[in-house]
């Protein structure tokens, strides 16, 4: 088995502290060692590397170019080790904080109403909810799991299908009482089509699915989130395509109406994406089992 080419951890810790403080004295105080001990540890590290890490000028020390390069690597590595240590300590017996990156409207409309039952069942797990719908980076976003819309292709992660979606055409009741109510596909030429900026091909997908060529249309605003599109349609800015499960309340209350009883299967689905590095942590396993149970239970 190949032996790792690594210096002592004490020497690395001391080097990072000295570099951070630009002082052997302050680093020694932080590490609760003598100044001479701190100096010997840094000297042993330089001897091991055969590279000078500090330049010593009178009573001042400065990192060399090699020292600055190595300090960044050592600091990042120690930060990662510290974070992992805190992670394990806080995760004992399933405890700790579960960080969930969730799509804003999906989270507000579907997940949040169900989370009280999770908290009741697992009160020892704290929740940290982060609005997250961009490129998925577990480390950068500091999240354990994420809910994403797509086609299930996220590398270095465990991916579970949550649900597909039905897309329906909706407008405001006021629009249906105006001069151009929608009773056929041809009537869409009188109205602005509101777009979802992260799903630019939704309208083309819908027209193909209902067997209609896209007519000459007037485009309305392009909005980033479904909750913005919902409010835009209610305000009368145009018509939109929205997932049925997200607007059930608005349809029931009558603040949105479906002018054409035609819904289509959406081009993607919702997935639970779990960091492969954290998949075996008790709190992560607990949440994954819980949410998949909610889906299979039809909730």
Residue 2 inside a domain? The answer is no
Distance from chain centroid for Cα 239? 29
**One domain for residues 284 and 156:** yes
Mark whether 149 and 279 lie in a shared domain.
Answer: yes
- Shared domain for 257 and 275, answered yes or no, is no
| 8-state DSSP, 125 | E
- Residue 76 — very low, low, confident or very high, per pLDDT cuts 50/70/90? confident
> 259 and 194 in one domain?
yes
Handedness of CA 186, 187, 190, 191 (dihedral sign): negative
Q: Hunting for tokens 């499960």 — which residue is that?
A: 245
Res 299: pLDDT: 44
H helices of 160-201, in order, are 173-176
Q: Please check whether residue 148 lies inside any domain of the structure.
A: yes
Residue 3 lies in a domain: no
Please tell me the predicted confidence (pLDDT) of residue 84.
73
**Partners of 126 in the beta sheet?**
97
Please state, as a whole number, how many other Cβ atoms lie within 10 Å of the Cβ of residue 168.
21
Mean pLDDT of the chain: 89
Same domain, 107 and 158: yes
Same domain, 241 and 194: yes
Question: What pLDDT does 240 receive?
Answer: 96
The pLDDT tens digits of the residues spanning 87-132 come to 676 666 556 789 999 999 999 999 999 999 999 999 989 899 998 8
277 and 209 both lie in a single domain: no
The answer as to whether 22 is a domain residue is: yes
Judge whether residue 282 has pLDDT over 90.
no
Gap between the terminal Cα atoms of the chain:
51
Q: Is 122 in the same domain as 111?
A: yes
Nearest to 14 by CA among 69, 83, 78: 78
* CATH number of residue 246's parent domain: 3.40.190.10
Given a contact cutoff of 8 angstroms between Cβ atoms, the answer to whether 237 and 195 are in contact is: no
Q: What percent of the chain has pLDDT over 70?
A: 95
- The boundaries of the domain holding residue 101 are 92-164+269-296
Whether residue 202 lies inside any domain: the answer is yes
pLDDT at 31 over 90: yes
Q: Residue 297 above 50 pLDDT? A: no
Shortest CA distance to 249 belongs to which of 269, 268, 227, 265? Answer: 227
The predicted pLDDT at position 296 comes to: 62
Q: How many domains would you assign to the chain? A: 3
Return the percentage of the chain with pLDDT > 90, whole number.
65
Q: Considering only residues 267 and 74, tell me which one the structure prediction assigns the higher pLDDT.
A: 74
CA distance 77 to 70: 11
DSSP-derived secondary structure for 98-111: EEEEE-HHHIIIII
Quick one: 143 and 283 in the same domain? yes
Average pLDDT over residues 166-185: 93
């Amino acid at each position: 088995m190949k032996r790792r080419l690594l210096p002592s951890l004490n020497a690395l810790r001391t080097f990072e502290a000295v570099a951070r403080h630009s002082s052997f004295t302050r680093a020694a105080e932080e590490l609760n060692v003598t100044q001479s001990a701190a100096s010997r540890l840094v000297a042993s590290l330089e001897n091991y590397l055969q590279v000078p890490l500090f330049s010593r000028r009178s009573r001042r020390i400065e990192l060399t170019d090699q020292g600055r390069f190595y300090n960044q690597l050592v600091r990042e590595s120690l930060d990662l080790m510290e974070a992992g240590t805190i992670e394990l300590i806080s995760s004992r017996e399933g405890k700790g904080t579960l960080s969930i990156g969730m799509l804003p409207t999906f989270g507000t409309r579907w997940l949040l109403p169900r989370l009280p039952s999770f908290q009741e069942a697992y009160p020892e797990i704290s929740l940290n909810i982060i609005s997250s719908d961009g490129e998925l980076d577990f480390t950068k976003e500091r999240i354990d799991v994420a809910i994403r819309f797509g086609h299930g292709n996220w590398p270095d992660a465990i991916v579970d299908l949550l649900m597909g979606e039905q897309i329906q055409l909706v407008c405001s009741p006021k629009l249906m009482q105006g001069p151009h109510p929608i009773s056929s596909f041809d009537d869409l030429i009188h109205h602005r089509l509101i777009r979802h900026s992260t799903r630019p091909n939704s309208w083309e997908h819908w027209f193909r699915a209902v067997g209609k060529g896209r007519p000459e249309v007037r485009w309305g605003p392009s909005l980033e989130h479904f909750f913005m599109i919902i409010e835009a349609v209610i305000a009368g800015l145009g018509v939109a395509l929205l997932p049925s499960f997200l607007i059930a309340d608005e349809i029931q209350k009558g603040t949105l109406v479906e002018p054409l009883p035609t819904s289509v299967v959406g081009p993607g689905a919702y997935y639970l994406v779990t960091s492969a590095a954290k998949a075996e942590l008790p709190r992560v396993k607990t949440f994954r089992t819980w949410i998949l149970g909610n889906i299979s239970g039809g909730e």
